[in-house]
Chains A and B, each alone.
Chain A
Amino acid sequence: MSLFWIFSRQSFYQQSAYRLNFWLEIAGVMLQIYVVYKLWNVLFEQTPQSFGGVSLPQMITYAVLGMLIGSILNTGEGVHTYIQQQVRMGQITTDLMKPVDFIVHMMARDFGSMITRLVFLLVPPLAISYLLFDMVIPTSPLRIFGFVVALAQAWVILFFCNFMFGLISFKTLDLMGFSFTYFALVRFASGQIVPLWMYPDVLQPVLNFLPFKSVFYTPLAIYNGVLTSSSMWTALLTQTAWMIGLFVVARLIWGRIHNSLIVQGG
């Protein structure tokens, strides 16, 4: 377990080294927050009845937090881009020779960068948003607890999705074309921008069938109070199920790839 922290810390330092980028990135995040804030304000003014009982502050909270979580749980860069890079440079073998399980190593790296982003890119803009906008604060300890658990599980789920996506590069060397598809799919099906309850009914079965709902929608809807008590527990358990399921599948696939790598000598 201590190795986990070593890899995490290394990744944390690497990321916090980019100074100028940091300020510009914060500015970029604030811009995006303003855009979604304005978007929902305009829509709410137009037709408040279309929100189905959800208040404007609840909606703003969902959107702002969705934007911010999007910058820490992201599909643009992560374990998959790392794997692809290593495979293409032919350096994946150095990772395999490390005295840690590959999946644990990758998780540690990802955890480090997630925490860095959480500290630098989520907390400050969130604080600013609370000062500027009218947003809801989860008061009940149960809801806060639910949110934290949901967020942690969301990270694990997205990690395994990214991980398995990254494994494609062992076959193709390049992820370029696929990554657009993956990126678009996660963005659309996770409810990061538009909450899933607003999607047309025809799409609901498909959305329920994909793990991405658990990544953004679940923590966000718990935070802003759309999912409460029993529906919250259901959502959390669904997440746990996805987590375990994806873990098992990832292990299986990785085991196969790993074996064939050893056979071919890297």
Chain B
Amino acid sequence: MRENMTIYLTMIRAAVLTRLEYRADFVMGIIGVFILNAGTLATSWVLLSRFQNLHGWTFWEIVFLYNMWLLGHGIRAVFFRHINMLEQFIVEGTFDQILTRPANPLVQFLGREVHYLGVGDVLLSVFMLVLAYHNLGLNWPWWMFGWLIVIALSSAVVEMAITLLLVSTSFLTTRSRALVNSASLFSWGVVQQYPVDMFGKLLRNIVTILLPFAFMNYYPSLVFLGKQDVVPWGFLTWYAPVVALILLFLAISMWNYGIKRYQSSGS
């Protein structure tokens, strides 16, 4: 464990040095991220300034929901954005090199890159969460802020683990991009900006059980916004970190299985 951590950190250092080579993109990228998210929020604003609420969620509650998602997404984007590109790593032979080294392949793969766009996501989401907190007149007990940090990390893990799980199919088929893209639609197309309770049972179950993206923002938000008694599944609000750990376990198992298959099939 300790050894893996040392290796991971050394590799991250190299990855940061790599990014610094492309400093010019940094500012443009961050601004772009701000505008992109502002655009989505503006649409919600237009909608809610006309309809007051969406299935019982006010504009600022939606802002909170959205930025909970963005925070987790941003953290994962900083460190694990490249897991979507496993396919390329395999095709280009980078993965073969990883296998010729004595360190754990997953650690080597995860430590390979960092990305600055996520930094914009994180900054914006923290700012917007503070705004939402004030506009909603929330008043949390102190431990709730600690819980928010736990949730932010667990959201990042949820998204990362689901992606890793799906992308590990690259080891079997070399093509996983389309699959990952479609699955992530349940993330940015569904749970990101809509309260899950407005959808039918099937979709709710998909984002809770099959591709549990709803644990990135919807379920955790229930307790932050004092909504856990409004819906019958309010108790799930506490389970996000557990779900994250289970997903991580599944993802690592799938990864290990995938590597075995890769080593014997070569594709």
Contacts and interface: CB of A to CB of B under 8 A. Distances in A.
Q: Do A and B bind each other?
A: yes
Interface of A: 18, 20-21, 24-25, 27-28, 31-32, 34-35, 38-39, 42-43, 46-47, 50, 174, 176-181, 183-185, 187-188, 193-194, 198-200, 203
Given A47-B52, A185-B39, A35 B194 contact: yes
Interface stretch (B24-32, B74-82, B213-221, B257-265): B24-32
Contacts of A181: 31-32, 35-36
A179 B194 contact: no
Contacts of A32: 185, 189
Contacts of A178: 28, 32
B203 interface: yes
Interface of B: 25, 27-29, 31-33, 35-36, 38-40, 42-43, 46-47, 49-55, 175, 178-179, 181-182, 185-186, 189-190, 194, 198-200, 203
A34 B203 contact: yes
Nearest to B175: A20
A194 B193 CA distance: 14
B79 to A, nearest CB: 20
B52 A177 contact: no
A142 to B, nearest CB: 30
A69 B40 CA distance: 18
Interface of B is mostly: helix
Contacts of B40: 184, 187
A176 B28 contact: yes
26 contacts: A20-B178, A25-B178, A28-B181, A31-B189, A32-B189, A34-B203, A38-B198, A38-B199, A39-B54, A42-B54, A46-B51, A47-B52, A176-B32, A177-B27, A177-B28, A177-B32, A178-B28, A179-B32, A180-B33, A181-B35, A183-B36, A184-B36, A185-B35, A187-B39, A188-B42, A200-B50
A25 B189 CA distance: 13
B186 to A, nearest CB: 7
Contacts of A20: 175, 178
Nearest to A200: B49
A25 B185 CA distance: 10
A130 to B, nearest CB: 19
A183 to B, nearest CB: 7
A28 B182 contact: yes
Contacts of B182: 24-25, 27-28
A193 B179 contact: no
A236 to B, nearest CB: 25
A24 B194 contact: no
A20 B27 CA distance: 37
A180 B36 contact: yes
Given A31-B186, A39-B198, A42-B54, A188 B181 contact: no
B243 to A, nearest CB: 21
Among A18, A35, A50, A198, the one with the most B-chain Cβ atoms within 10 Å of its Cβ is A35
B53 A198 contact: no
B216 to A, nearest CB: 17
A97 B175 CA distance: 35
Nearest to B27: A177
A140 B54 CA distance: 35
Contacts of B46: 194, 198-200, 203
B183 to A, nearest CB: 9
Contacts of A179: 32
B212 to A, nearest CB: 16
Contacts of B32: 176-181
B178 A177 contact: no
A78 B80 CA distance: 28
Contact of B35 (A24, A180, A199): A180
Contacts of B178: 18, 20-21, 24-25
A180 B32 CA distance: 5
Given A24-B181, A47-B52, A200-B49, 16 more contacts: A18-B178, A28-B182, A31-B185, A35-B199, A38-B203, A39-B54, A43-B54, A176-B32, A177-B27, A177-B28, A180-B33, A180-B36, A181-B35, A185-B39, A188-B42, A194-B47
